[in-house]
Every structure is written in C-alpha cells, then in structure tokens.
Amino acid sequence: MIKQVLKSIVLSLLVLGGATQAASGGLAWDKFPVEKLTDDASLQHGAKLFVNYCLNCHAASYLRYNRLAEIGLTDAQIKANLLFGSDKVGQTMTVALDAKQAKAWFGATPPDLSVITRSRSAAGQGSGADYVYTYLRNFYRDDSKPTGWNNLAFPSVGMPHVLWELQGERRPIFVTKSEHGHDVQVFTGWEVTKPGTLDPRAYDSAVADLVAFLQWAGEPVQKTRVQLGAWVMLFLSIFTVIAWRLNAAYWKNIK
Amino acid sequence: MADFKQAPAGASNADKLTLWTQNRFPTAFDAYRVHMSEYYAPKAQNIWYVFGALAILVLVMQIVTGIFLVMHYKPDASLAFASVEYIMRDVPWGWLVRYMHSTGASAFFIIVYLHMFRGLLYGSYRKPRELVWIFGVAIFLCLMGEAFMGYLLPWGQMSYWGAQVIINLFAAIPFVGPDLALLIRGDYVVGDATLNRFFAFHVIAIPLVLLGLVAAHIFALHDVGSNNPDGIEIKDHRDPKTGIPLDGIPFHPYYTVHDILAVSVFLIIFSAIIFFAPEMGGYFLEYNNFIPADPLKTPAHIAPVWYFTPYYSMLRATTDPMVNVFCAIVGLAALLAVWKGKLPGLAKVGVVIAAVVAIALLKTFDAKFWGVVVMGAAVMILFALPWLDRSPVKSIRYRPGWHKAVYGVFVVVFFILGWLGIETVSDGKTLMSQIGTVYYFGFFLLMPWWSQLGEFKPVPERVVFQAH
C-alpha cells in the first residue's frame, strides 16, 4: 500500500515535471489522473483502446507488442486480442496507412504516438499527458470542418473524433461577453446532441486509461527507472557517510 | 636514464614485480609522484575546489557512455531518431547510458561554470597561472562545440532547428559568411551531410582536442601549483630542510579523500535527475526534441539548451538601436582617452582614427553580424582576463566590499541573461538583455580601472586554515 502511494507520488512528480511557470493563453489543460499509471488494469484497458481506435492511422513504431508483458499481458493474450496489424509479438506497432495519402485525406500525416506524451509537455501548461487527456475530451461537432469535427484544445485539428461512439456528439455553448471594450466568445459549457455509449465520467476514465497507456509507451522503463533510483539513492547515501568519515579520518591530524 | 636497481635479497614477489616495472617504465612512477603523492596543494582549499575533479569525472563518464551510445546509434538522417528510441527501449540498460550522457552534458556545464567562477573569485588566473586559465577557456570553447554538435545527433525538432539557427549565424559574417555556412552544413540546408560531419566532430575530433587541452590544463597547473582562497603563494614559505611548502599537503591522499566525498554528493544529485527527472522539466531534454526533425515545419519557439542561453541573449540584444549604443560607447571612450588619458599626441590621433573606423564599421555591417561578434566576444574576452584584472590582491576575500557587490551583480546578470535566452522576445525583455549585455562587457572591459579602486584589506603571509 505505502509502496503504491510512494510510486504514485514519484510518478506524478515525473509527469508534472513540466508545470513550472504560469499558464499562457489557450484552453487550460485538465490534470491527467496520474494514479492510473500504477494500475495495470487501466494500462491494459488503455492498450485495448489504443489498438482498436488509434492504431489504424497512428503508429507506435518504437514499441514492440511483447513489451506489453510489462503491463501484465502474456504473449498469448497479446496475439489473441491485440495483434491486428502484424503476426509476430516481437514486431513494433506499425500501421499500413500511406503517409502521402494520409496527408491528402487529413491535411497532416498522423504523428507516430510512441513518444507523444513526452513531446507535448509545455512549461506552465502541464505535462504531455495532461495535454492528450484534455485534447481527447474536447472534440465537438462542427459541420464547417471537412471531417465534421473540431477541437477546443487544438482548433481546426485534422483528426476526426475517433472516440465519438463512446463520448457521443456535443456542441460547445459560447456566450458573447464584453471584455475591455471587445466582444469575445466565452465557452460556457457543452450541449449534448447525441449521447454516447459511455456516460461522461466513464468516458473521462476511459480516456485516462488510454493516456496512461501512452504515457507508459513513451518510456516503458519509467517504473523500473524510479524503483531502481530509490536503491541508487540508498546506496549513495550510505556511501556518502563512509566517504565523509574517511575524509574526516584523514584530515583530523592536519593542523 | 636511471640505472637498473637490484631487488634486495629476500624481497617479496610484489616488491620484485614493482621494481621490475619501475626499471622498465620509470615515467609512470615519476608521474604518480609529481601529480599525486608529492603534489603539494594548499591545505586551505574549500568546497569551491572540488569542481575540477568533478569535471574530470563527468568527462570520463561522457566518454564511456558515448562509446556505448555509438555502438547503437545510427548517424543517418532517416535512422537517427529511431536509433535513439531503440537505445531507450531495446538496448539493455541503453536508457541509463543515454540519460547519463544527456544529463552529463548539462552537468558538465554546471560544473565548468562553477569551476570558472571559483577562478574568478580567488584570482586563479593571475600570474603565474595565466596559461592554466587560457587552457581552461579553450576547454570551455571545445565543450561548447562538443555540446552544440552532439545536440544535433538525436535528430529531433530542436536538434534540427537549433543547428539551423546557429549555423545561419555564420552566414551573417561579411563576404565569406554564406560560403562558410555551406562548408559547415555540407549542404544548402541542415541534412544528412551535416549530421554525419557533426557526428565525426562530436565523437572523434573535438574529444581528442579536449583530452589534449585537459592534459595541458592539469600539467600547467601542477607546474605552477594550485591557488587557494587567500590567493597567496604557498611556495613562498617552504620547509628549509625538505623544500616542501609549509602550507602544502600531498594531493594523495588528502585531496583524493576530499574528492571522493564530493563525487558521492555529486552522484546523489546527478542520479536523482537521471532516475526521477531525466528531462529536468524540459531543460536537459527539450520536449520538442521528442518530435523527429521536420525540415518543413519550423517550431513556433526555438530556444537553445540552457547552457548557451546567456550568450544567445547577448546575440538577440544586438539590435540596430543597440549598435548605435555601441557607437556612442566607442565615441565616449575615445573622447575620454583623448581628454583624460596620459598619451602622447600621436597616440591620441591614433585613438581618434581607430574610433572613427570602429564606428564606420559598426554602421556599415548588419546588426545581425555584430550580434554574432558580441556572442563570440563574450566568450573570447575570458582569454584576456589575466591581463584585465589589475587588483593588487588576487582573492575576493581581501578586496573592498563593493567589489563583492560588483561580482554579485555579475552573477545575477548572467542568470537573467540565461533566463531571457529561453524566453520569447518582447520589447521589455530585449531592453533587459541589452542592459545585461552592457553590464557583462563593462565588467570585463572596465576591470583594469575598477579592479584597482577601493580599500584593499591586508593579505596574510600564510593561508587561513581551520582544522576540521
């Protein structure tokens, strides 16, 4: 229990590493619930969502399927449930989508998601996990866009709302307010036009699982790294005491 | 050549082996004596004196981790980014080696900046240590080149665009600039050719020069002897019988045990970063560098890594109005020299002509070029430090109180310039960096004048040492 809490604390420190300065414009990012990172069930659910919804356009070409053993899946489970794009668990998560075609269809090539959370951190706004967690929960229906979708966290994004069946369809409600003599559109809330299969809380939780998986995939070794670090700290602390006493022993006769 | 010595009868096998080696390779034994067991360092050295040893530690660590990285890294524009992720994921312990190397780069600069500041505090660059200092500044220059070229290798967005920005600076040099930039890149844009040559420089050329300079730095230091916080020569007071400085103690074991303690404390901080915050909030590994280099997509905000930012600020501070300020400063300096300077008439004419030429040049070439000059001069001016400082005492301890304030403001200015180099530009921030730049150069260029002023405290004959 205590170990779990400690792990959560350290991992959250890792994830929040970027949040050091004051926020600067744009939609404020929501906090990704970091406790999901230490929960294998969440990570496995995230892996399932990732393979089903993301891994058609987005690759994770630095991540091997059998690495999922580290979040508690066996090779047989991976083969039976997750291995759609390949036939060997030792292969990386690539996609068949042609980059040129993708660019023609969406206006941008879908980025590789292996290290996406590591790349999207921003000082003052939050961690990359916070960003992706916010991004995936702020899609809305916008018929003026080619895909029919838009996003509050990434205006005019090329990606359609892939998780729409889960979240349903929504429209943002904007109210015109006067600020410093200018009329500005202020976002006040959502109007649900078609409910999804998940209620809002369940949807947030599912997205959090997916983001937890992406955060894990960005650096699969991060849990080992933090655990090993604790032992290294312990060793170095003891060694420092020895070095300190050794130093004192040599120097005590120097007048 | 020394004569062969014979082992005495009944000597142990270990003694015989030692003597066998000594007869065949006396240089190794002499070196141990000269640099370790009989190198007498002042006993009063404080915590500021650990950074030399730590710099050697980090140098060795960078070389060793670098060798292992090169075993797996691919210096090819289409493979480089993926090979770094391969090291992070599939190479056993690759993540640790890579984090040690990336954190080591920043640690190297922190240590070297502190090491240089120690020299500044205690006048370690003054006679007879001018060459020690000059070798040291050359090491610092090499380190900047090494870090800059190494940063291109992961082939992320910041690697790519950072290199693009810095190489383009060379293009601002009049007449030869564009050709020079082409020579550095090996192509019209940063590309595979650039990556390959930077790789060659990063792993072979600069490390070789660096190692040679480090050797020269240490040999020259051991020839003249270490300075101390009192800035006095321990060689002036020797034991009449042995000739050993009275305030000196053998480097080994006394300073080796000191340094072991320093190393273990350093490793605690270093490991805490590696294991718990290897990105260090985006300062040691920039977030944008997790996106593969894309020549068609310029990032909204390109900032160099933190250790270059003070100099980058000075570059950005050099705007057209700033060049006018430089002209005014040159003019004022010339006026002052003619009016107050005790110079012969011909020299005064020379000063006026030089000032007019300088102002004409400042106005002829683009401010961007002068920005590059300012950035280069900010580092190069360090070479002149031994001759700029005219203070009658070496150590800050015996200088007037307000000198300490001058140094203190210098440190604060350096930090502010560093912070400004990370930030996006605004009018207020540009003004701040301009004031900072003027202070930075004023600190050095006016040093021959201000370092002589004020009430200096009496310097003791022997080092001040509290037994511990």
User: What local confidence, expressed as pLDDT, does residue B4 receive?
Assistant: 85
Of B254, B290, B468, the CB nearest to A119: B290
Quick one: CA dihedral A59, A65, A70, A72, positive or negative?
positive
Contact at CB, A18 and B287, closer than 8 angstroms: yes
Give yes or no for B85 touching A (CB within 8 A): yes
Cα–Cα distance between B157 and B171 in angstroms, integer?
21
Q: How far is A208 from chain B (nearest CA, A)?
A: 21
Cα–Cα distance between A166 and A196 in angstroms, integer?
5
Greater confidence, A146 or B133?
B133
* ipTM associated with this complex: 0.90
User: What local confidence, expressed as pLDDT, does residue A12 receive?
Assistant: 52
**Residue numbers in B near A122 (CB within 8 A):** 287
Q: Which residues does residue A192 pair with via DSSP β-bridges, in sequence order?
A: A170
Q: How far is A252 from chain B (nearest CA, A)?
A: 6
Greater confidence, B94 or A97?
B94
**Contact indicator for A134, A30 with CB cutoff of 8 Å:** yes
Contact at CB, A246 and B261, closer than 8 angstroms: yes
On the question of pLDDT at A32 being above 70, the answer is: yes
**Contact indicator for A141, A148 with CB cutoff of 8 Å:** yes
Angle at B70 between CA B69 and CA B71, to 5 degrees: 90
Confidence of residue B2 (pLDDT cuts 50, 70, 90): low
pTM of the predicted protein model: 0.92
Chain A interface mutation, best of B74, B81, B89, highest count of A Cβ atoms under 10 Å: B89
**Residue numbers in B near A20 (CB within 8 A):** 281
On the question of pLDDT at B200 being above 90, the answer is: yes
DSSP B238: B
What residue ranges define each of the domains in chain B, with the CATH number in brackets? 34-290 (1.20.810.10), 306-450 (1.20.810.10)
User: What local confidence, expressed as pLDDT, does residue A8 receive?
Assistant: 55
pLDDT digits (tens, 9 = 90+) for B374-423: 999 999 999 999 999 999 999 999 999 999 999 999 999 999 999 999 98
The residue type found at A108 is: A
Domain-by-domain residue ranges, chain A? 2-220, 223-255
Query: What is the rounded end-to-end Cα distance, in angstroms, of chain A?
Result: 53
Confidence of residue A24 (pLDDT cuts 50, 70, 90): very low
Contact at CB, B258 and A247, closer than 8 angstroms: yes
Q: How far is B166 from chain A (nearest CA, A)?
A: 23
Please provide residue A172's backbone torsions phi and psi, each rounded to the nearest 5 degrees: -80, 145
Contact at CB, A10 and B291, closer than 8 angstroms: no
Please state, in angstroms and as integers, the Cα–Cα distance from residue B47 to each residue in A168, B52, B253, B271, B331, following that order. 63, 11, 17, 20, 44
pLDDT digits (tens, 9 = 90+) for B280-304: 988 999 999 999 999 999 998 888 8
Contact at CB, A247 and B261, closer than 8 angstroms: yes
Which of helix, strand or coil describes residue A125? coil
Q: Say which residues have a Cβ less than 8 Å from residue B181's Cβ, sequence separation at least 6.
A: B167, B168, B170, B171
Give yes or no for B271 touching A (CB within 8 A): yes
- B343 Ramachandran zone, left/alpha/beta (phi>0; psi -120 to 50): beta
B44-55: average pLDDT: 95
A-chain residue closest to B263, CA distance? A240
**Contact indicator for B157, B288 with CB cutoff of 8 Å:** yes
B139-145: average pLDDT: 97
Contact at CB, A244 and B261, closer than 8 angstroms: yes
A-chain residue closest to B81, CA distance? A62
Query: What is the rounded end-to-end Cα distance, in angstroms, of chain B?
Result: 44
User: What local confidence, expressed as pLDDT, does residue A85 receive?
Assistant: 63
**Residue numbers in A near B96 (CB within 8 A):** 225
Instruction: Rank B5-14, B38-47, B335-344 by mean pLDDT and report only the highest.
Output: B38-47
Q: Which CATH number fits domain A2-220: 1.10.760.10, 1.10.357.10, 3.60.21.10, 3.90.1150.10?
A: 1.10.760.10
How many percent of chain B have pLDDT more than 90? 89
The tokens describing B197, both together, are 């040559």
pLDDT digits (tens, 9 = 90+) for B231-247: 999 999 999 999 999 99
pLDDT digits (tens, 9 = 90+) for B212-222: 999 999 999 99
